[in-house]
Structure 1
Amino acid sequence: MRTLLHPRLGAGFTRLWTASAVSNLGDGVIMVAGPLLLVSVTGNPTLIAGGAIAGQLPWLLFGLISGAYVDRLDRRRLITAVNLVRAGALIVLAAATATGNATVWLIYAVLFLLGCAETAADTAAGALLPAVVAPQHLDRANARLGATFTVINQFAAKPFGAWLFGVAAALSFGLPALTYLISAALVTALPPIPPPPPAPRRRLRTEISEGLRWLWRHPVLRTTAVAMGLSNIVFCAAFAVFVLYAQQRLGLSEIGYGFLLIAFAVGGLLGSLIAVPLTRRVGATAVLRADLIAEALVHATLAWTTTPLVAAAALILFSTHGMIWGITVATLRQRLVPTHLLGRVGSVYALLESGGAAAVGSLIGGLLAGVWGLTTPFWLAAAAMAAIAILAWRPLRHASAATPSSYA
Structure 2
Amino acid sequence: MSERTEAEPGNAQASTEKVTFFTILRNRNFRNLWLGQIISQMGDYFAFLAILVVVGTFAQDVNETTQQVSVVMIAATLPRLLFGVLAGVFVDRWDRRLTMLASDLIRPALTLAMIPAFMSKNLWLMCILAFAMSAVGTFFNPAKGALIPKMVPTEHLTAANSLSQTSMMAAFVLGPALSGAIFFLAGAGNEWIAFVLDAVSY
Q: TM-score range by the shorter chain?
A: 0.7 to 0.9
Deviations 1:36-90 (A, max 9, x none): 1110122412221011110111112212221122011111011111111110011
2:121 match: secondary structure: coil
* Fraction of identical pairs, as percent: 26
The question of 1:123 aligning with 2:142 is answered yes
- Residue 93 of structure 1 contacts residue 102 of structure 1 at CA under 8 Å; is this kept in 2? no
Alpha-carbon offset, residue 112 of structure 1: 0.3
Q: Given the alignment of the two structures, is residue 150 of structure 1 paired with residue 169 of structure 2, yes or no?
A: yes
Task: Tell me which amino acid in the other structure corresponds to 1:144.
Answer: L
Name the amino acid aligned to 1:124: A
Question: What is the aligned length?
Answer: 176
What residue identity is the alignment partner of 1:48? Answer: V
User: Once the 2 structures are TM-superposed, how far is the Cα of residue 17 of structure 1 from its aligned partner?
Assistant: 0.7
Residues 88 and 136 of structure 1: CA distance in aligned 2, closer, same or farther (over 3 Å): same
The residue identity in structure 1 corresponding to 2:40 is S
Local SS of the residue matching 1:18: helix
Q: Residue 7 and residue 122 in structure 1: after superposition, are their counterparts in 2 closer, same or farther (change >3 A)?
A: closer
Map 1:207-356 onto structure 2 (within 5 A): none
User: Who is 1:132 aligned against?
Assistant: 151
Displacement of 1:4: 1.6
Deviations 1:268-315 (A, max 9, x none): xxxxxxxxxxxxxxxxxxxxxxxxxxxxxxxxxxxxxxxxxxxxxxxx
Deviation at 1:121, TM superposition (A): 0.6
User: Which runs of 5 or more structure 1 residues have no equivalent in the other structure?
Assistant: 181-408
- Cα–Cα, structure 1 residues 22 and 49, in superposed 2: closer, same or farther, change >3 Å? same
The equivalent residue for 1:54 is 75
Q: Which has the higher contact order (CA 8 A, sep 6+)?
A: 2
Instruction: Report the equivalent of 1:385.
Output: none
Cα offset, 1:27, TM superposition = 1.9
What residue is the counterpart of 1:141 in the other structure?
160
1:177 is aligned to 2:193: no
Moved over 3 A (4+): none
- AA of the residue aligned to 1:78: T
Unaligned runs of 5+ in 2: 1-18
* Match among 85, 95, 98 for residue 64 of structure 1: 85
Q: 1:64 and 1:75 mapped to 2: Cα distance?
A: 16
Q: Would the alpha carbon gap of residues 65 and 146 (structure 1) be closer, same or farther in structure 2, given more than 3 Å must change? A: closer
* Partner residue, 2:14: none
The question of whether the paired residues in 1 share the 8 Å contact of 2:24 and 2:160 is answered with no
Structure with higher Rg: it is 1
CA contact under 8 A between 2:117 and 2:123: conserved in structure 1? no
Quick one: which of 44, 49, 56 aligns to 1:32?
A: 49
Which TM-score applies when normalising by structure 1?
0.41
Query: What's the offset of the Cα at 1:9?
Result: 4.7
**Paired amino acid for 1:40:** T
Query: Of Structure 1 and Structure 2, which has the larger fraction of its residues in helix?
Result: 1
TM-align CA RMSD? 1.8
